A and B are shown apart, each in its own frame.
Chain A
Amino acid sequence: MSTDQDKLITELVEKGLTGDMEPINSIEDRVLRSKAKAALAKAKRAAKSQETAEPKKKKSEEKSSDDLPSSVNLNEKIVYMINEKFSGSLANENTETHIQLKSDQWFEIATWLKSEPSLSFDSLQCQTGIDVGDNTLEARYNFHSMKHNHYTEIRIAVPRKEATIPSVEQIWRIADWFERETYDMLGIEFSGHRDLRRILLPDDWEGWPLRKDYLVQETYHGIVVPKMKEGWE
């Protein structure tokens, strides 16, 4: 039975490749029809990959990272691609150790960083914050791609007074607690985070301890917070 069927299918596929779908669609037996269709799709895919493997000229007409010389490092490539897609969202062009971004388009860029096949940063390894002085707070993200085994670091600086950054918690679930910790310590608001509470300190704590201008509160529920046992020194 199977040899007959195979013969039939190859015949049908040959017809299908020339554009004649009638014979396949008119098969009564459902199983046979789906088998024939699958074989046709496979044949089409094989033909396509042969085509693309030979000449690569058409692709290079569109601007893409393929034009870049192979000597550029990953950060330069990402900066180039971000400039193409999200113009104006780079804070500066320095790519030596990290990529400095502005906060406004961060959510879109983050979504793209994960979905773009040539980057596919599927793992957020660390998200942390730092007070860099000059009334500026900075959130830092370390990304790794399991597929390509490459790393990059993204930094986003925001002024202390309106420290708001779009949350990436819905893109990488690990960012949930990371962002809560950054919020706890530095008071950076992550807009769009679904559960932005303090994670380490008690909920009713006052102030952001890792900011440079932090002053310890005097009492907490009637307990004196700063050191009070004088005479020990």
Chain B
Amino acid sequence: MGLLENRFNDNVIVEKLDKLLSWGRSTSPWFFQFGTACCAIEMMAAAASRHDLMRIGMIPRSSPRQADVMIVAGTVTMKMALRVKKLYEQMADPKYVVAMGSCATSGGPYWQHGYHVLKGVDIVIPVDVYVPGCPPRPEALIEGLLKLQEQILDERPLTRKMA
């Protein structure tokens, strides 16, 4: 999108194209399949047949280059923080991050005395949606992902941003 992104003045055609683009993006946010701790189990349950993330267009991808959404599912240790950052940087634009569970949002049970845990993944990468819970149930994760879809739907990819 680099060439066309935020290049056009607002008018009817651009608005309609914007809507088409953001609708396309929001209905197929493929997510990056990796987990750092126990929240990953709930993420797997959400992706499996009972909750079935695929009905909202989310397909797990094993490569950061094919993924649009990174679900940080679980405790991010200091050792992992550098790797999470690297993986985020490898994703292609547009990219979104969902911080799933207490650990990824704030450090969780380790937030005061855990010397080895990152106190919230938003310290190293920008987060779009926070899903609280320890771990959150698949319904909660799906709620968060629907919020993310709403957020994507409101975007205007082509329109020039007002200064």
Q: Contact string, B57-82, partner A, CB cutoff 8 A, digits 1/0?
A: 00000000000000000000011011
Cα separation A209 to B113 with both chains bound (whole Å): 11
B106 near A223: Cβ-Cβ < 8 Å: no
Chain B residues, Cβ within 8 Å of A224: 123
Cα separation A205 to B115 with both chains bound (whole Å): 11
B contact residues vs A (CB 8 Å cutoff): 78-79, 81-82, 106-107, 111-112, 115-116, 118-120, 123-124
A223 near B81: Cβ-Cβ < 8 Å: yes
Stretch of A31-39, A161-169, A189-197, A225-233 that contacts chain B = A225-233
A209 near B116: Cβ-Cβ < 8 Å: yes
Cα separation A220 to B116 with both chains bound (whole Å): 10
Q: Give 5 A-B contacts (CB < 8 Å), ordered by A residue.
A: A201-B78, A223-B118, A227-B107, A227-B119, A232-B111
A201 near B106: Cβ-Cβ < 8 Å: no
Task: Output the least CB separation between A124 and chain B (Å).
Answer: 27
The interface residues of chain A, by DSSP majority, are classed as loop
A216 near B119: Cβ-Cβ < 8 Å: no
Chain A residues, Cβ within 8 Å of B78: 201-202, 205, 220, 223, 225
A225 near B115: Cβ-Cβ < 8 Å: yes
Cα separation A216 to B115 with both chains bound (whole Å): 6
Cα separation A225 to B119 with both chains bound (whole Å): 8
Q: A209-B116, A232-B106 are in contact. Are A201 and B81 (CB under 8 A)?
A: no
Cα separation A201 to B82 with both chains bound (whole Å): 13
Chain A residues, Cβ within 8 Å of B118: 223
Please count the residue pairs between chain A and chain B whose beta carbons lie under 8 angstroms apart in the complex. Answer: 33
B107, B112, B115, B123: the one contacting A223 at CB < 8 Å is B123
B124 near A223: Cβ-Cβ < 8 Å: yes
Cα separation A39 to B79 with both chains bound (whole Å): 65
Cα separation A229 to B118 with both chains bound (whole Å): 11
Q: A223-B124, A232-B106 are in contact. Are A201 and B119 (CB under 8 A)?
A: no
A221 interface hit (Cβ, 8 Å) = yes
Chain B residues, Cβ within 8 Å of A214: 115
Cα separation A91 to B119 with both chains bound (whole Å): 44
Q: A227-B107, A227-B111, A227-B112 are in contact. Are A221 and B119 (CB under 8 A)?
A: no
Chain B residues, Cβ within 8 Å of A225: 78, 115
Other CB < 8 Å A-B pairs besides A223-B118, A223-B123, A225-B78, 4 of them? A201-B79, A225-B115, A227-B107, A229-B111
- Of B78, B112, B124, most A-chain CB atoms within 10 Å: B78
Q: Contact string, A198-229, partner B, CB cutoff 8 A, digits 1/0?
A: 00011001000100001010001101111111
Cα separation A60 to B34 with both chains bound (whole Å): 66
Cα separation A229 to B112 with both chains bound (whole Å): 10
A229 near B82: Cβ-Cβ < 8 Å: no
Considering only CB atoms, which chain A residue lies closest to B117 in the complex? A225
Cα separation A86 to B41 with both chains bound (whole Å): 53
Task: Output the least CB separation between B85 and chain A (Å).
Answer: 9
Cα separation A224 to B115 with both chains bound (whole Å): 11
Cα separation A63 to B124 with both chains bound (whole Å): 68
The 3 A-B pairs of least Cβ separation, nearest first, read A202-B79, A216-B115, A220-B78
Task: Output the least CB separation between B69 and chain A (Å).
Answer: 23
B115 near A209: Cβ-Cβ < 8 Å: yes
Task: Output the least CB separation between A185 and chain B (Å).
Answer: 11
Task: Output the least CB separation between A130 and chain B (Å).
Answer: 18
Q: A201-B79, A220-B78 are in contact. Are A229 and B106 (CB under 8 A)?
A: yes
Chain A residues, Cβ within 8 Å of B116: 201, 209
Cα separation A205 to B82 with both chains bound (whole Å): 13
Cα separation A129 to B106 with both chains bound (whole Å): 31
Considering only CB atoms, which chain A residue lies closest to B79 in the complex? A202
